[in-house]
Amino acid sequence: MLKYLTVNNVSKVYQAKTALHDANLEVDRGSFVAIVGMSGSGKTTLLRMIAGLEQPTTGEIRQNDRQVTSINPQARCMFQDDRLLPWMTVSENLTFGAKDKEQRARAQRLLETMELMEFSNYYPTKLSGGQRQRVALARALMDNPELLLLDEPLGALDALTRLRMQDLILKITNEQKITTMLVTHDVSEAVRMANRIIVVKNSQILRQLDNPYQGVDNENGKLRRLELVDEVLDIIYHG
Amino acid sequence: MDQEISLNINQETTTTNNVTHQHSKRKLDRLLPWLIPVSLVILWQVAVSTKLIDSSFVPAPSAVIAQGVSLWQSGELQKNICISLFRASVGFVIGGGSGLVLGLVNGLSKTARATLDSTVQMLRNIPHLALIPVMILVLGIGESAKISLVAIGCLFPMYINTYHGITSVDHGLIEMGKSYGLSSWALLRKIILPSALPSILMGVRYALGVMWTTLIVAETVSADSGIGYMSTNAQQFMNMKTIFLCITIYALLGKLSDVIAKTFEQIYLDWRN
């Protein structure tokens, strides 16, 4: 069966430094994949290549059986720094200032979902870190993306806001059946959110693990997830 | 019930007091910038009136105002102000506009930057007032020489600030715009220009300052009209009232430029407040 996204023998070399070596990956449509690893292991490089922000030195990335050769129009990124435009209001950030009625209506609906309606006319500088990331998430969802690429978007948030954002992302991606790839160095976040964990170490994909306990909220599910966190940490530290 | 009414009255009184307090604070904030200039004028008037300062060298502010009224009534003052304003604004538009375009082109295009930037930097380091003799020889003492000098003076502050603004745009924002499918034109309009605007407006502010300095010098050296000419002409007749009037007008025009620059900032950079 044809996979939604495939990464075939992809390597990325910056000058003399190898950021990613011979990566192979297959992603099913609608799945939630987490890429974990230590800083500098190559996980962000992989995500950036899937987004089309960078091109592989060798190998190819295919989405819907079409090679990704430039900015990926079906993907939307959310970065660790929210990258909101400070001169635009919250709703303008979603539409990039477009006056189109339909777009503005969609922006309003998304702000409602994110519980940000009252901040619609605020400038981003007036918002908290969590609110800003919710705006960034709403912006990423504006064009109904098929693929959502999250590059440590919750890294700078406090623990409680982080949990709330995790729930919000899970709810939306499940409801809208968006294929999601999350880069994170927080293994427990990866295990809580994803149904597939990719472990990257020393510029290589080391292991790929299925997580059947994602979303299983009974005692057994929680226990199994904790065991999986230990297993992933063990792979990261000891290979 | 009585207690409730009393409580409401107390709350209303507090609210009214707060509003009155804020109103007076705003009034004070508006008046504060004028405190030093007005005090200096009063001191000046007192010093001349009490003969602490010789009025034949430094006339009293009242005498300067009277001279202004007299020149206004004769029509000479408005004629000279108008011609100076014309030279300043045309020079600013030509020089500032060229600086803006050059800054945009060099900021956006690596090829243009490699070709033009070092030449512009070399020219920038020549004091533009040193070009007065060349301007007079090449363009004569007509309007074009003075306007050209103002334009050259305004070009570089606008260029430097525009160029700096464009090249300092957060790369992450541009990347975000690209990944969200914005076209090059949309990137320029929605991300690059708004991001560079604070720096560009700083250039406008500097250029406006340079505009007046250059005009004063240009009109003092070679002119038969304008505020600078009025001042030089008055110097030949030891007419101190007119000289001080010209200095005051320059100060007021400088203040006007500052108000214009601030207004632009308030309109276009309100998101920073």
pLDDT digits (tens, 9 = 90+) for B119-135: 998 988 888 888 888 88
**B197 at A interface, C-beta within 8 A:** yes
How far apart CA A152 and CA A128 sit, in angstroms, is: 17
Nearest to A29 by CA among A49, A53, A2, A48: A2
How far apart CA B257 and CA B207 sit, in angstroms, is: 10
Tell me the nearest-neighbour CA distance from A172 into chain B, angstroms: 19
pLDDT digits (tens, 9 = 90+) for A117-151: 999 999 999 999 999 999 999 999 999 999 999 99
Q: Is the pLDDT of residue A81 over 60?
A: yes
Based on the fold, state whether residues A62 and A155 are members of the same structural domain.
yes
What is residue B133's predicted lDDT score, i.e. its pLDDT? Answer: 85
**B208 at A interface, C-beta within 8 A:** no
Based on the fold, state whether residues A132 and A153 are members of the same structural domain.
no
Q: Are the beta carbons of B179 and A52 separated by less than 8 Å?
A: yes
Average pLDDT over residues B242-248: 93
Q: Is the pLDDT of residue A1 over 70?
A: no
Q: Are the beta carbons of B194 and A77 separated by less than 8 Å?
A: no
Q: Number of A:B CB contacts under 8 A?
A: 47
Which of the four pLDDT bands, split at 50, 70 and 90, describes residue A179? Answer: very high
**B173 at A interface, C-beta within 8 A:** yes
Based on the fold, state whether residues A98 and A215 are members of the same structural domain.
no
- Cβ-based contacts of A76 with chain B (< 8 Å): 179-180
**Closest residue to A79, CB basis, from B172, B178, B182:** B172
Which of the four pLDDT bands, split at 50, 70 and 90, describes residue B14? Answer: low
Based on the fold, state whether residues A151 and A234 are members of the same structural domain.
yes
Q: Average pLDDT of chain A?
A: 92
What is residue B68's predicted lDDT score, i.e. its pLDDT? Answer: 93
Q: Is the pLDDT of residue A98 over 90?
A: no
Based on the fold, state whether residues A13 and A58 are members of the same structural domain.
yes
**A97 at B interface, C-beta within 8 A:** yes
How far apart CA A50 and CA A63 sit, in angstroms, is: 9
What is residue B11's predicted lDDT score, i.e. its pLDDT? Answer: 64
Domain of A213 in residue numbering reads as 5-74+146-238
Which of the four pLDDT bands, split at 50, 70 and 90, describes residue B15? Answer: low
What is residue B101's predicted lDDT score, i.e. its pLDDT? Answer: 97
Q: Are the beta carbons of B182 and A79 separated by less than 8 Å?
A: no
Considering only the top CATH level, what class is B60-272? mainly alpha
- Among A41-45, B1-5, B57-61, B164-168, the least confident range: B1-5
Q: Mutate one of A74, A85, A123, A141 to test the B interface: name it (highest B CB count within 10 A).
A: A85
Q: Average pLDDT of chain B?
A: 89
Based on the fold, state whether residues A162 and A67 are members of the same structural domain.
yes
Q: Give pTM, 2 decimals.
A: 0.83
- Judge whether A80 lies within some domain: no
